[in-house]
Amino acid sequence: MKRVFSGVQPTGTIHLGNYLGAMKRFVDLQDDYESIFCIVDLHALTVPRDPEELRNKTRELALFYLAIGLDPEKTTIFTQSSVSAHSELAWLLQCVAHVGELNRMTQYKEKGQGKDTVTAGLYTYPVLMAADILLYQTEVVPVGEDQKQHLELTRDIAQRFNNRYGEAFTIPEPLINEIGARIMALDEPTKKMSKSAESPNNYIGLLEEPKIINKKIMRAVTDSENEVRFDPENKPGISNLLTIYSLMSETPVSELEQKYQGLGYGAFKKDLAEVVVDRISEIQDRYRRWEKDGGVEDVLRQGAEKVSVIAEETMERVKDLMGLYRV
């Protein structure tokens, strides 16, 4: 079985963009791949966080992983900080990555924009991400569009290492959805839906009440044409809603266009809200069940134990190849 790895940061509100762009895919993959999904808490530290909040968000994300349908019998779930090899390999790879490469990363620039100071961690963040992936000899990495550049860097670092020191790493392939790789903000459909958005009207959170979800969808920004047609360039709002509808109901966009021909945005949005609420309610039910029954800590503990074995094998080989003296 091929191995798949991905990570999500335990910060902000987990929203429909995270779910449709990446996490829903995790669930589809778990039957056909050896799957490892990580809660990347070390990445969350690249901007200052309240410690108690980080702890809570980490547990919350573990519950989300289970709530969306990841099955701990098939899938390994763990926190990044519980396997110290992530930090260790990140250092070794920082000595392989180039400053010029990191300077080209757009996410670092975006996140640092308008800030007086930026941590060194935010700058080297993509190298820690490369370490996450390479540690497990990952073959496939499901992510949203915004991570494409980081995946390219990961591949470059792995190739450079293998050429310079000898074969240590599998070269990973990104897996990016054809549709839904970039879910846009409801209130501003030319920008991506984001955890760090200022207005809560930007996103739909996975724990939001049906009433609120409904309201946000009915108020989502669209054009004035009142024609349900997929045309991201000229009709970004309605195209984004069509994408969400299509993914949530597993219906092709063309079929939806036909269904809503001549019916206008009101009818379309009303049905969309119903579909989204239905699906999110399932996730919420499972979330509450796991929260009530407990067991999430055991899943994380066992997950960390399991992946540590793979991580150690990679570390041994990497240290040997780099010439670190082992006695």
* Residue 57 annotated to the active site: no
The least CB distance from residue 7 to ligand TRP, in Å, is 3
Q: How far apart are CA 55 and CA 52, in angstroms?
A: 5
43 near ligand TRP, judged by CB under 6 A = yes
Distance CA 257, CA 50 (A): 45
Helix (H, G, I), strand (E, B) or coil at 220: coil
Asked whether position 9 contacts ligand TRP by CB under 6 A, the answer is: yes
Does residue 40 bind ligand TRP (CB under 6 A)?
yes
Q: Minimum distance from CB of 141 to ligand AMP (Å)?
A: 9
Beta-bridge mates of residue 4: 35, 140
What are the strands of the beta sheet with 34-39, ordered from one edge?
75-79, 34-39, 3-8, 140-142, 173-175
Residue listed under structure tokens 């760090």? 196
Q: Does 141 bind ligand TRP (CB under 6 A)?
A: yes
Residue among 14 and 168 whose Cβ is closer to ligand AMP: 14
Give all strands (DSSP E) within the chain, no chain letters. Answer: 3-8, 34-39, 75-79, 140-142, 173-175
Residue closer to ligand AMP by CB (options 21, 172) is 21
Is 74 assigned a catalytic role? no
Distance (Å, whole) CA 287 – CA 42: 24
Nearer to ligand TRP, 45 or 217 (CB): 45
Measured from the CB of residue 216, what is the shortest distance to ligand TRP in angstroms? 23
| Nearest Cα to Cα of residue 227 among 267, 187, 197 | 267
273 binds ligand TRP (CB under 6 A): no
Say whether 235 is catalytic.
no
Out of 14, 70, 105, 143, name the contact with ligand TRP by CB under 6 A. 143
21 binds, among ligand TRP, ligand AMP, none (CB under 5 to 8 A by kind): ligand AMP
Q: What are the tokens at 47? A: 């901007």
Interface with ligand AMP (CB under 6 A): 8-9, 17-18, 21-22, 143-144, 146-147, 181-183, 192-193, 195
Q: Secondary structure of 175-214 in the HEC alphabet?
A: ECCCCCCCCECCCCCCCECCCCCCCHHHCCECCCCHHHHH
Q: Between 18 and 314, whose beta carbon lies closer to ligand AMP?
A: 18
Nearest to ligand AMP of 70, 181 (CB atom): 181
Residue 286 interacts with which of ligand TRP, ligand AMP, none, CB < 5 to 8 Å by class = none
- Considering CB distances under 5 to 8 angstroms, the limit depending on partner class, which of ligand TRP, ligand AMP, none binds residue 195? ligand AMP
7 belongs to the binding site for ligand TRP (CB under 6 A): yes
DSSP 146: G
Residue whose CB is less far from ligand AMP, 125 or 161: 125
CB 246, min distance to ligand TRP, A: 23
| Catalytic residue (choose from 195, 215, 259, 306) | 195
Inter-CA distances, 136 with 34, 168, 244, Å: 11, 11, 32
With CB cut-offs between 5 and 8 Å by kind, which of ligand AMP, ligand TRP, none does residue 17 bind? ligand AMP
Q: 191 near 185, Cβ under 8 Å?
A: yes
